[in-house]
Structure 1
């Protein structure tokens, strides 16, 4: 089935049940489905065809959710883009996927307009919130979805059609569009909701960006089951967010290590906040054992799940909660209905306790990278059987004698920080744009909260005075927040090859050794 059918089905079964709580609004399944239908109708009326792309450059909000399901209902492909994305990168995404529609909000219009000036494929721009000075081609959201739906009940396509593009950092510095079909999403969502033991009466509180697949799947899984999603923009103010656990009777709370670190350090955590929570999930980096122990004290009724995933297959592994005491540093076993193994260079399984690359097999594996056959060929390779290709993750793992997996590191230059993939080249390009920088390299410093903290190593021109604050401010103005280096070190020189190329691998090994 096509994934948007879940929203229509839930609206029919439980029309008055709350689908989303966000920014003071409580939106029922009937209302969310109606808005998505109206959005889809307007898309199709404007010539939006099957397989066309709609980019949602929005914060976490009800309109983002409606845009996701409305695009699918129209037969299209959606891509949610982080609202901290800068104009050049947004333009790259719009041009790469040849989007015909962009949905954004008034506060993001300066960035959107700068990107649109470089993006000829976009023919319609839908703007959420009051737009006091609309330019040509900009349409108000309320006006766009004003007309009732006229779409026939029949789906506009089938389940093997492309549903979404999730852009993730690539080693070349240019984002890669991970292609996921309706069938891919269904497989992943079914697997995850199975091991989490989710139910229609669950209430999930998510502060994770819908542009981040971990956050996006909170929406997709809740709609699949008819559960309620409490959607917030961020966890910047825990004292504002945590009381929602109690007031909304939250049962599920997805975390990343930075959030867990803030929670366990709170001195005034109230037991009633945690009373209804049945499960906590964590991905990105493994939680430190001390944080796991403290979370269990604070949330005594909750099952704690450690997981590992990547955009190319959504989720790969999960650790059954009863295994946390025995192996707190493990990321577990393959998620239901999939297979994983640790492989050598030939792709064949290695003996236990041998380090190799994690390989993933299952219906959740992406179709490839959008219009990037070279990168696709490296990631998707022939599997055990003639009819399949399996995902080579680029991550190094070992598997113990009982089949539990442990993350060791990455094979390529990509750094994983705060659960997001960061391309050193992309950050270094920005660093080189700072006047006075002669040489630049980005490394990841082991960090128990972030997984890797980003550190910029710089050599500046003679006579140039730069401070760490100067560098961070320059990067913050040009990069998404998760890509901005936290640590800055100035050096007289950086190690190079005979051909003058900076030895980033040497610098990374140095950073790993100093942390150990």
Structure 2
């Protein structure tokens, strides 16, 4: 039987997981822990016994989110008697569970918001079958958020192996890929950018998936060099709706079977309420939810589009609406740049001016003058940052994405 989880020096088998589930018939409805195996054990026990669960980050301060009673965190509740003969029976119970799982948005641009999901919506994108057996997944997401849950369910329902690499340094990630012969990686573009520069390629990786942030062709080209035999795809998922679209490159296509569940108003993608979890924070326009994601059609008749930016990330510069992502793409494509972050700073004359923070690859020598010279060939003057700052690192959210607030 395949290993369930490698976490540092610790190895956990599926047999061990079943034994823990059978032996410890209590669970924590609100649970905070740094122990990822204990977290998964608690998650599975709640689901297979049809119990509600609130997922909390291990370092969460309850004041950050509404509706969390700190006195109830890590208080165990007795479960009714049960017994599972093997991992197959655990998976079967999970697949028909009526549990409701509460998760929180990542807080990329504001306070995290609470969303309640059924197991059906959380596992909507899971693929099952013999072709998915024997996969080894790099676990590169925070386990308490949507993307981490989706990777977990995909691996767990196929009894694959997970290798925890979340928040690891570049050299450690590469060491884990080689040691455990990792075949699948799903992570944010920020995660992949932090793998640069690289010294060798890893042909054992079969599939690379990007999600959670806008990516760019420069990053795709580097990923192809690091993982030369991997198929690369992009996924669109949100805490509010789970996984909705997949793409090769940066063009997404709305699946025909759910095409009537979407509409676009003033370039913003709106999602029908039937695809969402439940939340008091949702605001609807009729039956549709404003996703906050701005898109541009590539082929409207076939439902093919590209994401442009988040609506609340546009910066007003002298009356022009600037998409920081467009400027970041241009900066990130410059040789020696690992990643950039562009944002607006209040200005009494222009409303805002653009500031760019730039993180260079190790050993790279790139000046602000060189960056501006390159940008002038590609962008209008009002899109060129007024100030360029070189930084050693960026603040990230708990989900591993750039923190833009």
Q: Bigger shift: 394-403 or 208-217?
A: 394-403
CA distance 1:314–1:291, change in 2 (3 Å): same
| Unaligned segments of structure 1, at least 5 residues | 1-15, 44-52, 96-115, 127-143, 346-354, 383-389, 417-442, 460-475, 488-516
Distance 1:260 1:61 in 2: 22
Q: Bigger shift: 150-159 or 212-221?
A: 150-159
Report how far residue 58 of structure 1 moved.
Answer: 2.6
Q: In the alignment, what sits opposite 1:472?
A: none
Distance 1:55 1:84 in 2: 13
* Aligned partner (choices 173, 191, 197) of residue 265 of structure 1: 197
Distance 2:174 2:32 in 1: 27
Distance 1:444 1:181 in 2: 35
Report how far residue 263 of structure 1 moved.
Answer: 2.2
Q: In the alignment, what sits opposite 1:85?
A: 60
CA distance 1:22–1:453, change in 2 (3 Å): farther
Q: 1:376-415 counterparts in 2 under 5 A?
A: 376-378=282-284, 381-382=286-287, 391-401=289-299, 402-411=302-311, 413=312
Distance 1:230 1:279 in 2: 15
Report how far residue 368 of structure 1 moved.
Answer: 1.6
Q: 1:470-509 counterparts in 2 under 5 A?
A: none
Across the aligned residues of Structure 1 and Structure 2, the Cα RMSD in angstroms comes to: 4.1
**Are 1:42 and 2:17 an aligned pair?**
no
Partner SS, residue 195 of structure 2:
helix
Report how far residue 87 of structure 1 moved.
Answer: 4.5
Report how far residue 319 of structure 1 moved.
Answer: 1.1
**Are 1:94 and 2:94 an aligned pair?**
no
Q: In the alignment, what sits opposite 2:43?
A: 68
User: Following superposition, which runs of at least 4 residues in structure 1 exceed 4 angstroms of deviation?
Assistant: 152-160, 169-174, 449-459, 479-487
Q: In the alignment, what sits opposite 1:352?
A: none
Residue by residue over 1:339-362, the C-alpha shift from the partner in whole angstroms, topping out at 9 and shown as x without a partner, is 3676355xxxxxxxxx53323459
Report how far residue 93 of structure 1 moved.
Answer: 4.7
TM-score under structure 1 length normalisation? 0.55
Report how far residue 400 of structure 1 moved.
Answer: 1.9
CA distance 1:123–1:485, change in 2 (3 Å): closer
Report how far residue 399 of structure 1 moved.
Answer: 2.2
Q: In the alignment, what sits opposite 1:208?
A: 141
Larger strand proportion of the pair: 2
Partner SS, residue 250 of structure 1:
coil
**Are 1:276 and 2:182 an aligned pair?**
no
Partner SS, residue 285 of structure 1:
coil
Q: In the alignment, what sits opposite 1:219?
A: 152
Q: In the alignment, what sits opposite 1:245?
A: 177
Contact 2:282 2:289 in 1 (8 A): no
Q: In the alignment, what sits opposite 2:18?
A: 33
Distance 1:157 1:293 in 2: 38
Q: In the alignment, what sits opposite 1:164?
A: 101
Distance 1:88 1:64 in 2: 22
Q: In the alignment, what sits opposite 1:357?
A: 268
Contact 1:284 1:309 in 2 (8 A): yes
Report how far residue 409 of structure 1 moved.
Answer: 3.0
Q: Name which one, 1 or 2, has greater alpha-carbon Rg.
A: 1
Partner SS, residue 187 of structure 1:
coil
Aligned positions, number: 336
Residue by residue over 1:366-395, the C-alpha shift from the partner in whole angstroms, topping out at 9 and shown as x without a partner, is 3320xx1xx33527x53xxxxxxx554232
Q: In the alignment, what sits opposite 1:104?
A: none
